[in-house]
Structure 1
Amino acid sequence: MYPDAGRGSVAGTDEPGHPGWPARLGPVRTRAGVVALRPLWLRDGPAWRRIRLDDRDYLEQWEPSTPGSWKQRHTLTSWWAQWWSLRSLARRGQCLPFAITVDGAFGGQLTIGNVVRSALCSAWVGYWVASGHASGGVATAALGLAVDHAFASAGLHRLEATVRPENAASLRVLTKAGFRQEGLLLRYLHVAGAWRDHYCYAITTEDVGTGVVAGMVAAGLVERV
């Protein structure tokens, strides 16, 4: 998956926000460590840049094509621009941009984006985690926390995610979080040099019962802290 991707958080905890924002979610314990979600901080830049540069081969194959080289797109200036853009959207109630932390350290991002209210009451979700946390349950835990929050505190009814059919790891994450496959989007996004097909996955409030995280706890995927 991909992101639409402190002090200077998207909105400090005493700053007025929209439904479900700002927020801190979790923590829960996974095989990789204790996972939580918090607003992005401006000072996350150095950690973001280091992880993204180190994990180019791991991440670039799944992310939409954008102008410039990978190195050019991962300067601290690029981070400041991304942080400011996400901060502005969050303050307008159009997205919920989170840092994923593992044992308190920045380990990835999760964004609930394109929030639409009224009759649709929907958004998309995208995420990435550092390769060092792969197969440790971090993305699964982060997604579970985000879905529960989106449906409860943020008041949404539906979340969508798109993923390439070849991305087996992300397909497993979505399945564990209760998302269902709804169709195949042909030549949906330009990724890694070509227009790539993507599956569309979705989940609605009717699907989650007592909560996604509660289901993960019952399945032994995470533990509450």
Structure 2
Amino acid sequence: MQHGPVGLRLIRGRDARTLQRELLSNRSWLRPWEATIPGGVASFDMRVSIRRLLQQHRDGAGYPFVMEYDGEIAGQLNIWGVARGSLGSATIGYWVSERFAGRGITPTAVAMATDAAFDQFGLHRMEICIRPENRASLRVVEKLGFRYEGLRRRYIHIDGDWRDHHAFALVTEDVPEGVLTRWVQGRVPPGLGVAPSEI
């Protein structure tokens, strides 16, 4: 998938070295938003991580991508927790290197991934859960018009503790023209991706 300089492709085993280098060189930038394991130690063995992600992909439980900018790896985007059948739902998670921030990579990649989930992967609903403190990610869902659906208390273990997350979602009926097209053409209804300030 490609839109301008932003590309989204399935992760490959040979991406391990580049992704590991980006993760390690972006520790202070990424740590506040990274999932952790209660009582566990974070692992940075990308080869093992990629093998697990590709196995989930083969099992139909996820779609692991790398985000690229002008052909250079800029981060990762994963569609995970795929539920088939009557739910037809999944969740998107992502990270981008600090040196690529502010170039529109993440909203473009999220839009392309959501369109693919709806049009190619047969899903009906896509969710993104974001910490209230993560202003950059909150701007992504606001730009793309993901609908605010509520606060999930102590939802995911992030940076060493259980953290609250705002939940946002889209269903296929929300975007008949596609997420990317709606955003690029400036037709995202205002206020959809905004969490209530009183929470």
TM-score (norm 1): 0.79
State the shift of 1:190 in Å.
2.2
Amino acid at match of 1:171: L
Q: What does residue 90 of structure 2 align with?
A: 123
- Structure 1, unmatched stretches of 5+, are 1-24, 221-225
Does the CA-based 8 Å contact 1:182-1:200 persist in structure 2?
yes
C-alpha distance in 2 between matches for 1:217 and 1:193: 37
Q: What does residue 91 of structure 1 align with?
A: 58
Which SS does the other structure have where 1:111 is aligned? strand
Matches within 5 A, 1:23-34: 25=1, 27-29=2-4, 34=5
C-alpha distance in 1 between matches for 2:130 and 2:97: 18
Which SS does the other structure have where 2:85 is aligned? coil
Task: Give the alignment partner of residue 112 of structure 2, picking from 105, 128, 145.
Answer: 145
Q: What does residue 108 of structure 1 align with?
A: 75
- 1:150-177 CA distances to partner (integer Å, 9 max, x unpaired)? 0001110001111100101001101212
Matches within 5 A, 1:34-49: 34-49=5-20
Task: Give the alignment partner of residue 154 of structure 2, picking from 163, 187, 192.
Answer: 187
Which SS does the other structure have where 1:172 is aligned? helix
C-alpha distance in 1 between matches for 2:151 and 2:110: 21
C-alpha distance in 2 between matches for 1:108 and 1:45: 12
C-alpha distance in 1 between matches for 2:10 and 2:28: 27
Amino acid at match of 1:64: A
Task: Give the alignment partner of residue 180 of structure 2, picking from 201, 204, 213.
Answer: 213
Residue-pair matches, total:
185
Moved over 6 A (4+): none
Q: What does residue 34 of structure 2 align with?
A: 63
Task: Give the alignment partner of residue 140 of structure 2, picking from 173, 176, 187.
Answer: 173
Q: Which has the bigger relative contact order, CA under 8 A and spacing at least 6?
A: 1
Which SS does the other structure have where 2:133 is aligned? coil
TM-score (norm 2): 0.89
- 1:121-150 CA distances to partner (integer Å, 9 max, x unpaired)? 111111111111111100000001001110
RMSD: 1.4
Identity, in percent, stands at 41
Task: Give the alignment partner of residue 136 of structure 1, picking from 100, 103, 108.
Answer: 103
C-alpha distance in 1 between matches for 2:53 and 2:35: 17
